[in-house]
Structure 1
């Protein structure tokens, strides 16, 4: 069901591009948004359909990740250019709600892509992720940020 809705959305986006005759990324995104809205209006089972719930969550997740990425880049860059170092490095044990290999891999990679953090290892029972962070002022706060930020939003998309 999700695949057919997504393919329909892509097809309608390509039809939009063909009709307008403008082959740009912005026009494709606009066509995708318009076709998503049209598919949502014509759907009879909007609440039960995972596609209409996942796309807004996916967009929200991408924006959240970009915000976190920019924030971490600024924090690391500021620490590099100032004479005083503000880092307090540490290895933090993060309990996981993610269970599948895909969820754990995505979470570990998203953490590693953010400057100042690096996923080190997953426990053998796959219940704990070990993360090295440059700025660990409060371990509980750091764990809460990962759990309520990356992991929570990632699980909303994958489940």
Structure 2
């Protein structure tokens, strides 16, 4: 059985025993279940679950920081009298190969204010992104490749 589902089952069991039917109870049970599974890892062999979960948390943290910074930048552009935006469309070469990897990268880009995934090339190697604040296209490509895409690939591979 997938260790994530075992961990989720442990978390739900913890919630039932403690009577804490809340997000806090689920989170606490999930952390305790993760620790229990990590300690008992020699019983069922090594698993990628223990390396993927911290990577997924790092991806979520990275995305939340980028989301906050993008919101502040768009907010500042809206409330200031001048317009500081320099919109443009940039082709970002992708290292992502599977449809799931491309989908995650494209959707996380689109969820960030000021950017929108517009199109994907026919060979699935280039993602075209509309950027609200395009100062340097090469720096934007590097930010996507070394920031968001790298973290998505760490989680999915």
TM-score after normalising by structure 2: 0.94
Change (3 A) 1:109 1:101: same
**Structure 2 stretches lacking a partner, 5+ long:** none
Moved over 3 A (4+): 45-48
CA contact (8 A) 1:90 1:136 kept: yes
Q: Which of the residues 79, 86, 91 maps onto 1:81?
A: 79
2:106 aligned residue: 108
Aligned positions, number = 157
Aligned residues: CA RMSD: 1.6
**Structure 1 stretches lacking a partner, 5+ long:** none
Q: Which of the residues 136, 139, 142 maps onto 2:140?
A: 142
Q: Which of the residues 95, 98, 103 maps onto 1:97?
A: 95
TM-score after normalising by structure 1: 0.93
| Alpha-carbon displacement from aligned partner over 1:102-137 (angstroms, at most 9, x marks no partner) | 111111111111111111111111111111101111
* Corresponding position: 1:7 with 2:26: no
Q: Which of the residues 125, 150, 153 maps onto 2:151?
A: 153
What is the DSSP-based 3-state SS (H/G/I as helix, E as strand, rest coil) of the residue aligned with 1:44? Answer: helix
CA contact (8 A) 1:40 1:46 kept: no
| Alpha-carbon displacement from aligned partner over 1:35-74 (angstroms, at most 9, x marks no partner) | 1011001101899411111111111111111111111011
2:52 aligned residue: 54
1:63 aligned residue: 61
Query: Shift of residue 25 of structure 1?
Result: 0.7
CA distance in 2, matches of 1:46, 1:58: 23
2:19 aligned residue: 21
What is the DSSP-based 3-state SS (H/G/I as helix, E as strand, rest coil) of the residue aligned with 2:42? Answer: coil
2:36 aligned residue: 38
